[in-house]
Amino acid sequence: MEEDYVSTAYFIIHSISLFGFITNSIAVVTIYKKRDLHNPFGILCAAIAANNAFVLAMNSVWYALPDDPMFESASQFSRIIGYVGLSQWNFACKIHLLISTNRMLSVVLPININIYWTHTRNFAAMSIILLLAYIQDLPILLYDDIWFCYDRQLMMWFFAHTERGKFFETKINNIPCYLDFALTITFDLITLAALRVVHTKSKWLANSSREEAKKRKLEMKLFAQ
């Protein structure tokens, strides 16, 4: 009976991972095909979709690996996988913040934000936050009593239940994520409020060309998703 539960749980996990991988891959392909989204905002959305697809694929493969000491929690290989997965998660949090910042400035400011938010600066920002995400989680590789690993019995990811592990989880990992989340929500609320005001006054689409209006609608649809 227990084996049936485990098999069912693994089936659900892999199904969800596969669904997430497919939907995020579709998002990347859609952005690639839509030339109107070949701007900093579209690149950010493609980056987070590709990042999500990568993490889901990596985790799904990790779950399917056979029981072996090499893959047990706190093993060197397991710690590396946890380090990469957690770093990519933190990278995604910061990409969300960049997307929210881009949309807020684009809607609130009466200028074309792409004049200042160029592709070069966009890629530079993404590179910096990716580097910062991996630096943030570097203690996982430096200290034996700090890790983030998958527990096969509970089928969950855990931080090390040590003094350093708990400090790393609460202070180094969680606080920056909470800050990113709070800023993202704040910027999104400002954006939505500004959109509502603009929509009420009927100026946004009325004063734009059809092509620009269509482009903005597409961007906002992607933003809402």
pLDDT digits (tens, 9 = 90+) for 10-24: 778 778 888 889 999
For the entire predicted model, the pTM comes to 0.82
Range of the domain at 193: 2-224
Range of lowest pLDDT (31-35, 63-67, 179-183): 63-67
Q: Is the pLDDT assigned to residue 221 strictly greater than 90? A: no
- Taking residues 102-116, what's their average pLDDT? 86
Give the confidence band of 90 by pLDDT, cuts at 50, 70, 90: very high
Looking at 62-66, 81-85, 142-146, 206-210, which range is the least confident one? 206-210
Tell me, what CATH number does 145's domain have?
Answer: 1.20.1070.10
- Work out the pLDDT band at 71, boundaries 50, 70, 90: confident
* Range of weakest confidence among 120-124, 135-139, 209-213: 209-213
With bands split at pLDDT 50, 70 and 90, how would you rate the model's confidence at 60?
confident
Number of domains in the chain: 1
**Helices 119-136 and 40-64 meet at what angle, rounded to 10?**
30
Task: Report the alpha-carbon distance of residue 131 to residue 135 in Å, rounded.
Answer: 6
| Contacts by residues 24-27 (CB-CB < 8 Å, ≥ 24 positions apart) | 24/49, 24/50, 24/52, 24/53, 24/56, 25/49, 25/53, 27/225
pLDDT band at residue 222, thresholds of 50, 70 and 90?
Answer: low
